[in-house]
Structure 1
Amino acid sequence: MKLFCLPYAGGSANLYAAWRRRFQAGITCVPIELAGRGIRRRLSFYEGMNEAAEDVIEQLMSHAADGEPYALFGHSMGGMIAYEAAHLVHERRLPPPQLVIFSGRPAPHVVRSDADIHGQPDAEFMKRIEEMGATSAELFADSQLRAIFLPVLRADFRLVETYEYIPRLPLPYPFLVVAGTTERWSEEELEGWRLHTSAACRVMRLEGGHFYWNGNPEPITSLLMEELQQLRLHANIGWEGG
């Protein structure tokens, strides 16, 4: 069983480096690198969510060519990309995920209440990013690091803020929805994911805020390990998500 992981805004595949050591017994963590960062930093940033989903699908299918079952995990922006990618998988009748995990992200039909910030001047943009807790002031204080990460953050926030939800039939894949206990998203906004699958959907809270797994990934990796082991060992029985 492979677990493909998509990062949040401003993040890269390196976010999940520590996860690789935490999975065992047939579960392999495969971080997906998005365009414009890491080893793919020379590639242009995505112009829209569909382009991001297309790129992710290409990477998924290259890794899944061996026929091994897989699951898809996305945190925040990564969850939005995962949702669109899952629809492409279904529409094109590609090998389906055994489970899709949406972390720190409300259902896609939930209307954004935040003002757009991706087009604001650097000083105001960085201030808003720091207020969200998405990064530290030390990162922006370093001119070299700022030159690397600021364009990535701005491009990712543009991707999120220009996303337009398109109503479609529910996906036939089971969902697991995870958020922090002090996350801003309400129960109603998280439970809304049930409208987007015709299979099982489970909603859970783990201790912490929006970035609940930063600094201590053990609760989420243990949860995912348990869920994926059940899928791997009892594939013929089916996943019981409640």
Structure 2
Amino acid sequence: MTVALLCVPHAGAGASMFRKWKRHPFRQLEVVPVQLPGREELFAQDPLTSLTEVVDWCLDRVRETPEDAPFALFGHSFGALVAYETAQRLVAEGARLPERLVVSGVAAPWLPRPVMGGETLTDDRFAARVREVVGHDHPALHDAELRGLLLPSLRADLGISDRYTPGSTDPLPFPVTVLRGADDQLVSRQDAALWSKVGASSTEVIEMPGDHMYFSLDPKPLLAELDAVFARGAG
């Protein structure tokens, strides 16, 4: 049976990259992009500025999936924290649970993370801070017009990340898969491995070639790995 993989974007990003993933020949997955307010076709809406609002938004997307169909959650970096908190809320509410949580490019939720300062820094300093911490330079940060479109949602998301504390660290009753770029300078192998305390069922940590944004230029290795993860789970 096909598993609907709800994909939450990283900070400031829209869901368009996930729509491209839908063309990948998955064996068991159907990619379901989660578009957050303030970006792409929802640009006219204000970005959400609290974790509770973002999780509520994601829970609504979960509820839109067919009741009798399996689903899973995926997120990268900021999106991984949102996916994790969404999973915890589903457990707390006694709701239908995902088959699996897949978190990418993020340390275990209780660990300290760099403060980005997006709510106080000027545009130039904030863009420089993002490049410094993430170790990845997005072309939009160098274009005044594109930066004006990107920064409001990026500031909102990273503001949530700056204030983040986990709502719960109780073990989740379903498998957790952790993905990390082998050359990621933001998330160490040890900090990624500590997710093992979250997965009561099972946790696997998989390293991919590349840095923090290891899938940005070529997502095919990641998509093939996701396909393999869910194929193993089905076996």
Under a length normalisation based on structure 2, what TM-score does the superposition of the two structures give? 0.91
Q: For 1:5 and 1:116, locate their aligned partners in 2 and report how far apart those are by CA, in whole Å.
A: 23
Q: Give runs of aligned pairs for residues 57-72 of structure 1, distance below 5 A.
A: 57-62=59-64, 64-72=65-73
2:183 match:
182
Root mean square deviation of aligned Cα: 1.6
1:12 pairs with 2:24: no
Encode CA deviations 1:61-106: one digit per residue, 9 max, x unaligned: 11x2342111111000000000100011111122111111000011
Amino acid at match of 1:48: S
Shift of 1:56: 0.3
Shift of 1:130: 2.9
Shift of 1:23: 3.5
Structure 1 unmatched runs, 5+: 235-242
Amino acid at match of 2:158: F
| Residue 28 of structure 1, aligned match among 13, 27, 30 | 30
Amino acid at match of 2:181: G
Q: Is the 8 A contact 1:3 1:29 kept in 2?
A: yes
The total of aligned residue pairs comes to: 230
Distance of aligned partners of 1:99 and 1:23 in 2 relative to their CA distance in 1, 3 Å threshold = farther
Q: Is the 8 A contact 1:7 1:74 kept in 2?
A: yes
Q: For 1:39 and 1:47, locate their aligned partners in 2 and report how far apart those are by CA, in whole Å.
A: 18
Q: For 1:186 and 1:222, locate their aligned partners in 2 and report how far apart those are by CA, in whole Å.
A: 23
Q: Is the 8 A contact 2:116 2:130 kept in 1?
A: no
Shift of 1:139: 1.9
1:216 match:
218
Aligned-residue sequence identity (percent) comes to: 27
1:116 match:
116
Q: For 2:208 and 2:116, locate their aligned partners in 1 and report how far apart those are by CA, in whole Å.
A: 28
Q: Is the 8 A contact 1:35 1:43 kept in 2?
A: yes
Q: Give runs of aligned pairs for residues 153-232 of structure 1, distance below 5 A.
A: 153-184=154-185, 185-231=187-233
Name the SS for the 2:66 alignment partner. Answer: helix
Encode CA deviations 1:98-141: one digit per residue, 9 max, x unaligned: 111000011001112x24321211111111223334443x4234
**Structure 1 range deviating more: 29-38 or 122-131:** 122-131
**Structure 1 range deviating more: 44-53 or 72-81:** 44-53
Distance of aligned partners of 1:188 and 1:142 in 2 relative to their CA distance in 1, 3 Å threshold = closer
